[in-house]
Each structure stands twice: as structure tokens, then as C-alpha cells.
Amino acid sequence: MSDSAPGGSSDRYPTPQPSETSTNPQSLDSQWEDVEQELSRPLQPVARPLEATVSNRDHASSRVRSFDESSPLVMVETAFLASAASLIWLVNFYFPIGPFLRIFFPIPIALIYLRWGARAAWMGALVSGLLLSVLMGPPRSLLYIMPFGVMGVLLGMLWRRRSSWAMAIALGSILAAFGFFFRVWLVSLLLGDDLWLYSTNQVTNLIDWICLRLGILFQPSLTFIQGMVIVMVVVNSVIYLFVVHLVAWFLFDRLRNPIPRPPKWVQVLMEYEE
């Protein structure tokens, strides 16, 4: 019946005939070889924007934040890091545990500079000083701002501009040495006595006594003792800044705000590979 009906299914749906390629084994083999070659071909890299091709370390440190300076995120991070800096100073003053916490004094302010720039860093240092002034009094807050608050701003500026470790340690050591003498001057002003002269006189008398007890014919002058103290202060500042750089190197890499890479001998010493 379907054969005699016009326009039947046999007319509309002709029976498919086996093609020549489906029955030819050689053509099937050639098709599979083409497929295997296509699958084994390495993938071509997809074109990405320039910002995406930069490594995370360089991009994280050099990118410009798109937030407004009055954005709540800027204010919240600045206030949080400023409070952290004040808390570190406060805990170290009342519960000193050696030089461990002292290493972190400039770290929060430097992190503010790396993330949000100079204005936020200066505001963070000022907020830390005001908070410490309320909690501990103005003299102790000044002892934090100078040198550690200013040092955080200085290190943040140098690290953001990708300055070398040698330059950052040299400038930071000068500031740290100046901060030591500022502390001596401020304490002397509050006590009403020249603490620098008093301490160097005591050291001179102590060395004289030791030389007499040991039978050594050596009598150091006051100028010599003061020069030795200055040299010791500078050396101590250099060691302190070097340790601060090491801590910032390991810490800021985890926070995606890296500082410039150290010299090769430091990387070999610390067994660190890029």
C-alpha cells in the first residue's frame, strides 16, 4: 500500500546506500590517522592581555589600584595596619620578648605604602602615633614615629620603586642611627640631663677600671669612646635593616606584595629559588 501511495515514505525517505568510504578499509585507516595527528598536535597558546602575561609578583607590586583614595577599603586597611603597628609596639614595651617583635615595627606601614601609596602610608604612621599617644603618652608615641613610622614610609617607597637592597639598607640605617640619637636627645630633654655625655663617661670609666685590673697600659679618651659608640650604632642599624628585609621578603611574597629580590648570595644562603 505504501508503494502505490503517491508521496509515500519510500519517496521521501530513500534507503541510504552504503558509501564507498565506509566500506573501504584503507580510507577508514587514513581517516583515523588524520584524527590521531590532529589530536597529537600541541595546543597553541591563547593570546592574553599584557597585564595577564606579567608574573604575579611583578604585577602585584606595580599595578595601580583602581580604587578612589576615599574608598572604604583604603581606610579600613590603613586603620587595621596602623592599629597592628601600634599593638606590636605596645606589646613589646610592656612584655619584651627580645628583638623578635622589634623587627616588625616598620613592616605594617611599609605594607600600606606598597598597597595604597604615600598618602595612605603617612596617614597610617600618623594614626599609629595618635593611638600610642592616647595609650602611652606623647613621648612614647614620638619614639615610635621616629624612626620606625618614618622608616616604614621610607622602605615602602624604596620597595615600590624597586630599589636595590643595598640602597634601601643604607638609607634605612642612616634613618635608624638618626632615630637612636633622637631618642637619646628626647630622653635627655625629659630628664633634664645630657644622657649621651653621662653614658659615654660611664663607659670610659668602666674601660679604665678594666684596663687597670688587667694591667693594660691603655687609657681611652672620651672622643674615642664616643666614636666607638657611633660605629656600634651604625653597625647595629645595618644588621637590623638587613633582618627587616629578610622578614619582608618572606612575608610580602605570601601577601602578593613582593619587595625587590635580594642579591644572589642571600638567595643561595637562604636556599631560595625563584
- Residue partners of 133: CB distance under 8 A and separation at least 6: 141
CA distance 141 to 130: 7
The H helix count followed by the E strand count for the chain is: 14, 0
pLDDT at 20 over 90: no
Q: Give the tens place of pLDDT for each residue, 153-201.
A: 999 999 999 999 999 999 999 999 999 999 999 999 998 888 898 888 8
Mean pLDDT to the nearest integer, 195-218: 84
Q: How confident is the model at residue 114 (pLDDT cuts 50, 70, 90)?
A: very high
Q: Give the predicted TM-score (pTM) of the model.
A: 0.72
* Cα-Cα end-to-end distance for the chain: 82
Q: What is the pLDDT of residue 236?
A: 95
Q: What is the pLDDT of residue 90?
A: 92
CA 241, 243, 247: angle at the middle one, nearest 5?
115
Ranges of beta strands (E only) in the chain are none
User: For the chain, what are the domain ranges?
Assistant: 60-269
Q: What is the pLDDT of residue 26?
A: 58
Output the nine-digit C-alpha cell for 23: 566500506
Q: What is the pLDDT of residue 141?
A: 93
Q: Give the tens place of pLDDT for each residue, 64-80.
A: 454 555 678 889 999 99
Q: Which residue has the cell 637592597?
A: 165
Percentage with pLDDT > 90 across the chain: 47
Which class does domain 60-269 fall in?
mainly alpha
22-28 long-range contacts, CB within 8 A, separation 24+: none
Asked whether the beta carbons of 82 and 125 are under 8 A apart, the reply is: yes
